[in-house]
Amino acid sequence: MTSDDNFKKTRKEYERGILDEKTVAASPLDQFSEWFNNAMECEQGEPNACALATVSANLKPSVRMVLLKGLDDRGLVFFSNYESRKGKDLEAHPDATLLFYWPGLERQVRFEGPCAQISPVESDSYFNSRPRTAQVGAIVSRQSRVVSSREVIDQEYATLERTIGESAIQRPTHWGGYRLIPSMVEFWQGRASRLHDRVRYERVGDSWKIERLWP
C-alpha cells in the first residue's frame, strides 16, 4: 500500500490564472462556455467529462463520470440508461451535482440543480448521431446490473448485431438524456498559498446573484 508520506509530499502551487467576480459574465452558462472553450484548446482527453453526484431513495450518495453532450440556456445535457443506478437515483431525488475539473487550467466548475429527462425527440436526435456500435451497445447494456462474465456481454452484443443486420436502429425507451437545470454554479480558479478564487452564481428568480466565497 502507498505510504502516507507519498500523499503528503504530493503538492503543487496553483498559479495559472485569476478569477474576479467583477469581470465574470452575467450568466454562469456564458462564463462556463468561455471556460469550456479554453479547456477544449489546452486540455487532453475529454474536457466534457464531469463527475455526476446523485442520492438514492435511502439517501446514499453516489458519484460517477459522465460526458456532457449538450448545453443551452436551459441547462446541461448528459445521457444514460434510465434503469441504471443513476437513473433510479434521479427518479427518487432529481437534485444532482455536476463537477468539471480541468487540471491544465487549474479550474473547476460545479453545477447544482434538479435533473429532468429531455424530450424523446431530443434523445432520438442524439441517439441517431451516435456510431452504430454505440447504438447497439446502448440496447444490449443492462447498466448497473450484475453480469456473470465479460463473455456474456460480448456474446449478447454479437448476437444482437447479427440480428439487426443493416436495419435502422431505434433508440430503446430505457435510454435517453437528462438535463440538469442549474440553481447554483460555482467557478473555482486555483491560486497560490491555497487562497483560491471562488465565485458563486445563485439563481434569484430570472436573474443570477454573483458572490465571491472564501477559499
Quick one: 116 exposed, middle or buried, by C-beta within 10 A (0-12, 13-18, 19+)? middle
| 107 dihedral zone (left: phi>0; alpha: psi -120 to 50; beta) | beta
Q: Which residue numbers are catalytic?
A: 194
Q: Tell me if residue 153 falls in helix, strand or coil.
A: helix
How far is 11 from 30, CA to CA, in rounded Å?
Answer: 32
Cβ–Cβ under 8 Å, residues 174 and 82: yes
Type of residue numbered 61: P
